[in-house]
Amino acid sequence: MGHQPKFQIAPLAVAITTALYTAPFTFAAEAPAATRLEEIIVTGRKRVESVMEVPASIQALTSDEILAMGARGMHDYSRFIPSLNVITYGAGDTVVVFRGAISDESSELAQGTSSVYLDEVSVSSTSVQPSIRMVDIERIEALAGPQGTLYGSDAVAGTLRIITKKPEMNTFDILADVSGRNGSGGEDSFDHSIVVNLPLVEDRLALRLVGFTAKDGGFIDNVFGHTPDSDTTGKALPSGFGNLDNADFVEKNWNDSEIDGWRAALKWDINEDWTATFSALHQSNKSGALNDFDPFVGDLEVVRFFDDHRDDEYDLYSLVVEADLGFAQLVSATSFYDREAHEVYDNTAYNHQWAGTYCQTYAYYQDYLAYLGYFQDPDGSGTVFWPAYCKAPTVDGDFLTVRDYAQDTDRFTQEFRLSSQGETLDWLVGFFYEEINHDYVYDFARPTRSETNPGGPGTNLYQESISLQYFEGVLGQALPNSTTYWYETSKTDWEQKAIFGEVVWHATDRLDLTVGGRYFDRENRVLFWTEFPRGNLAELQAGLPNISGSEKEFVPKVSVSYNLTDESMIYGLWTEGNRPSGQNRGRGDPLLPITYEPDTMTNWEAGYKATFADGAARISLITFVMDWEDYQIEIVDPSVAACPLDGPSKIAGVCGQPWQNVIANGGDASITGTSLELDWAISPNFVVGFNAEWLNAETESGLDLSGDGLDNVTSGQRLPLSPDFTGAAWATYDWPMPSIGGSGFARLQWSFQGETLSNLEHRSTSDDEPNPRWKNSAFNIGDFSIGLRNETWEASLFLNNIKNERARYQTGWGLFEWAAASVQDGRAHTVRYTTNRPREFGVRLIYRWAGN
């Protein structure tokens, strides 16, 4: 990443502090405002209504709240949405989980259980979600629980909606927002943005332009060290392991990221009844390493053997047409979304684990045709070997490797909606069409350096490896183009058509009954291609056969709400969400089915919402039970195991089959919980808030992941990444400052997340387990800000992560590194803790130019 000048915050900090100290605290200078909370308007149910009138779980953050909390991305504001857990591995590499509904911590094949929308457009991806920068955002809406009726198959557990600000007619505005941060040993960071609202034709045409650039400075150091030279499980490793080091890749603050983007929206009020809004967006994230460190190396330190990096870009174009037809409101939303991401990361420790396990006896067993896959030592010890894992030129040689992954997702959607609100009935009907093309290319374990070859641009170290010698012996031919022992690519196409609707019957002045549903017709096609090793076969051909499937499903919704008073309500809700079925790779004769079935989330929910103290306070209390039937989970098909020596080398569905990750229907799970939200304006100047969720998410049936008849997942097992408690509290205080024609303000905010598990399968953290299940410890993070503002400008100082807390979002990633140790460097294990930014102090300035 490019060098950035040191951001000098001291002079500005002195100026703001002086102004705060010398300005008179004359509360009597202004008449006190009414002590009422601002009403929050939402559109999560595809209609305009108050958040307190929605008979469902929905939390909304307004633009003022987003500004006050200093949110830059999902990881910032999700701390204050108790039903939402966001794990940010790095820029653009984010997992979104509602109500603990997740079965696999790192699936690259299954669709997620939670959807992310930007305005009317779904930007959800198969594995990780884009990190949308919080610039010129109108509000955020978090709809917890299945949203299948209105938001489709991506919304099994919830939907996150990010709504941008729209062009305003007859108003000229320019808003500049700049900030800088630095902190505990990390690199300087900044966020700069500008928003321009341009009236082009009076009462008819307006344009809104947004541009932003930011740098999240790195805070993790890649320090000097050697490759692992020992294994905690006690197995012998090649004698050369530990000879190579990472001297060429040592770097301070190596996980920095640069974010650049723009948005444009053109709004045309065609006449009094018709409006069209065209929007375009581009965002680019260029980042170094991910946000993880190894405590066995040091605090915020790692030992890695490559210059890790990730590039993530996406473009979005949409056209929304709205019309008043007299009898109903029409909305047409057309969109195209394209996302491309490419990452290259060191995976030397992972490949050392398998090379140490499988390749050492290569010199003794070179009968290629007898040992085409995993095979057992003929001496009867039961030890399994496979020379394909030997990436070095010699059996005892050391080596470095990387994994190279690129994906491309295109999504086209068209939705039409008609809706009407009347005295007795409100109704909504719609049609939805979607096409998704998701492609990826994966080069796994490409050698980058050996003891005899330093590598470099254009160097193909795989040509020197024992792994290649093995494959050339098996195939009986030279493979001069091979670059790695494993290459795969996949092309998946989805087509979906759906009709949906809701009817609200106002049975009395206080009683409402809502009935809705969505009917899906979905098809998908999968083309999966493997080269083993890469370069020995022709490139992917369009004429290769696809594996295809289809399904038709209906998801219902029923709710009843009753207004106890004009300011309070109770409700009951039953909804379902449905994640689609799909097709597995089907290489060889695997144990698990080629087609996996849809999973279904059924939600029973009851809630109480009220505004009290003459509008100064509001409360929302919701309890829910969700049954998750046939949840989907990504696993390695068990039939990859080596067959017994006294039988055939391959048995369909049992052993000797090709390695492959697949999606399986794992079983059933239950998620129960209670959420609480409370906001209270104690005075016109002092507002406090609190929210929390208590959650119990666990399996209801056992699951055999290895095919040996024993349950790796037991009934009653907690689901991964699902804390049993999350909570947040905040307080804001404003005071009038006539000397600047405005006010001063201060905010203190704090969030807490309970302990989570890293994955579903139970594995111990003993030395003889290279891939354990981890307990991610609980953490709490607090922030403080103070500043001045008036109608034209705002200046503030802020302190993020007051305690310098090390959050532990995730551990390990299932990379089999725990057994990797270094005697010469004093590293007892290798592990990854995905964490948050350390303590940072910063300054923010906002200036507005307004005209007619």
Lowest mean pLDDT among 117-121, 368-372, 626-630, 800-804: 368-372
pLDDT of 4 over the 50 cut: no
**pLDDT tens sequence across 573-627:** 999 998 888 888 777 788 888 888 999 999 999 999 999 999 999 999 999 999 9
- Name every residue whose Cβ is closer than 8 Å to that of residue 268 and which is 6 or more positions away in sequence: 204, 205, 275, 276, 277
DSSP string, 776-807: E--EEEEEEEEEEE-SSEEEEEEEESTT----
What's the pLDDT at 549? 85
The Cα–Cα gap between 588 and 595 comes to 15
Average confidence score pLDDT of the chain:
88
Helix (H) or strand (E) holding 600: strand 599-612
Using DSSP's 3-state secondary structure scheme, residue 154 falls into: helix
Lowest mean pLDDT among 419-428, 466-475, 837-846: 466-475
Q: Model confidence at 851, in pLDDT bands (50, 70, 90)?
A: confident
In eight-state DSSP terms, residue 214 is E
Using DSSP's 3-state secondary structure scheme, residue 622 falls into: strand
Q: What angle do CA 501, 54, 417 make, to 5 degrees?
A: 25
| Most confident listed range (73-87, 519-533, 766-780) | 73-87
What's the pLDDT at 185? 78
Amino acid identity, position 674? T
What letters, b where the CB count within 10 A reaches 16 and e where it falls short, cover 202-225?
A: eeebbbbbbbbbbbbbbbbbbbeb
**What are the backbone angles phi and psi of residue 695, rounded to the nearest 5°?**
-135, 140
The Cα–Cα gap between 514 and 49 comes to 15
The number of residues in the chain equals 852
**How many angstroms separate the Cα of 227 from the Cα of each of 251, 401, 459?**
17, 11, 21
Mean pLDDT over 100-119 rounds to: 83
The Cα–Cα gap between 484 and 392 comes to 12
pLDDT of 541 over the 70 cut: no
The Cα–Cα gap between 739 and 788 comes to 11
Using DSSP's 3-state secondary structure scheme, residue 49 falls into: strand
Amino acid identity, position 16? I
> Positive or negative CA dihedral for 58, 64, 68, 69?
positive
Using DSSP's 3-state secondary structure scheme, residue 488 falls into: strand
pLDDT of 3 over the 50 cut: no
Percent of the chain with pLDDT over 70: 90
Cα within 13 Å of Cα(809), Cβ side? 24
CA proximity to 350, closest of 720, 765, 771? 771
pLDDT of 381 over the 80 cut: no
**How many angstroms separate the Cα of 152 from the Cα of each of 85, 126, 454, 493, 500?**
21, 15, 51, 17, 9
Amino acid identity, position 509? D
Percent of the chain with pLDDT over 90: 63
Q: Please give the residue that has the higher pLDDT: either 349 or 712.
A: 349
Contact in structure between 722 and 693 (CB atoms under 8 Å):
no
The Cα–Cα gap between 162 and 116 comes to 8
Cα within 13 Å of Cα(126), Cβ side? 25
pLDDT of 33 over the 70 cut: no
The Cα–Cα gap between 688 and 678 comes to 8
In 422-546 the beta strands, taken as DSSP E runs, fall at 425-450, 486-506, 511-531
Mean pLDDT over 440-458 rounds to: 87
Q: What angle do CA 427, 429, 435 make, to 5 degrees?
A: 155
Computed on alpha carbons and rounded to an integer, the radius of gyration of the chain in Å comes to 29
What's the pLDDT at 473? 77
Mean pLDDT over 703-724 rounds to: 84
Mean pLDDT over 384-408 rounds to: 85
**pLDDT tens sequence across 240-257:** 999 999 999 999 999 999
In eight-state DSSP terms, residue 509 is S
**pLDDT tens sequence across 21-31:** 444 333 333 33
pLDDT of 834 over the 80 cut: yes
Contact in structure between 261 and 290 (CB atoms under 8 Å):
no
**What are the backbone angles phi and psi of residue 713, rounded to the nearest 5°?**
-115, 125
pLDDT of 169 over the 60 cut: yes
The Cα–Cα gap between 389 and 484 comes to 10
Q: Model confidence at 362, in pLDDT bands (50, 70, 90)?
A: very low
Q: Model confidence at 839, in pLDDT bands (50, 70, 90)?
A: very high
**What are the backbone angles phi and psi of residue 618, rounded to the nearest 5°?**
-145, 150
The Cα–Cα gap between 354 and 401 comes to 12
Mean pLDDT over 432-441 rounds to: 93
What's the pLDDT at 538? 52
Q: Which two tokens stand for residue 706?
A: 């290895």
All structural domains of the chain with their residue ranges: 10-448+460-472+490-851
- Name every residue whose Cβ is closer than 8 Å to that of residue 65 and which is 6 or more positions away in sequence: none
Contact in structure between 482 and 471 (CB atoms under 8 Å):
yes
Contact in structure between 195 and 136 (CB atoms under 8 Å):
yes
Q: Which two tokens stand for residue 730?
A: 């905040």
Using DSSP's 3-state secondary structure scheme, residue 691 falls into: strand
**pLDDT tens sequence across 121-142:** 999 877 678 889 999 999 999 9
Mean pLDDT over 78-89 rounds to: 92
Mean pLDDT over 659-680 rounds to: 92
Q: Please give the residue that has the higher pLDDT: either 691 or 385.
A: 691
- Per-residue 3-state assignment (H helix, E strand, C coil) for 367-430: CHHHCCCCEECCCCCCCEECHHHCCCCCCCCCEEEEEEEEEEEEEEEEEEEEEEECCCEEEEEE
In 457-485 the beta strands, taken as DSSP E runs, fall at none
pLDDT of 414 over the 80 cut: yes
In eight-state DSSP terms, residue 719 is P
Q: Model confidence at 18, in pLDDT bands (50, 70, 90)?
A: very low
**How many angstroms separate the Cα of 20 from the Cα of each of 745, 800, 840?**
10, 20, 21
pLDDT of 747 over the 60 cut: yes
What's the pLDDT at 466? 84
**pLDDT tens sequence across 792-812:** 999 999 999 999 999 999 998
The Cα–Cα gap between 676 and 66 comes to 20
What's the pLDDT at 815? 75
The Cα–Cα gap between 626 and 674 comes to 12
CA proximity to 494, closest of 409, 416, 571, 435? 435
What's the pLDDT at 22? 41
Cα within 13 Å of Cα(54), Cβ side? 24
> Positive or negative CA dihedral for 563, 568, 570, 574?
positive
The contacts found for 365-371 with CB under 8 angstroms, 24 or more apart, are 366/473, 368/470, 368/473, 368/474, 369/474
Question: Which CATH class for the 10-448+460-472+490-851 domain?
Answer: mainly beta
What's the pLDDT at 125? 78
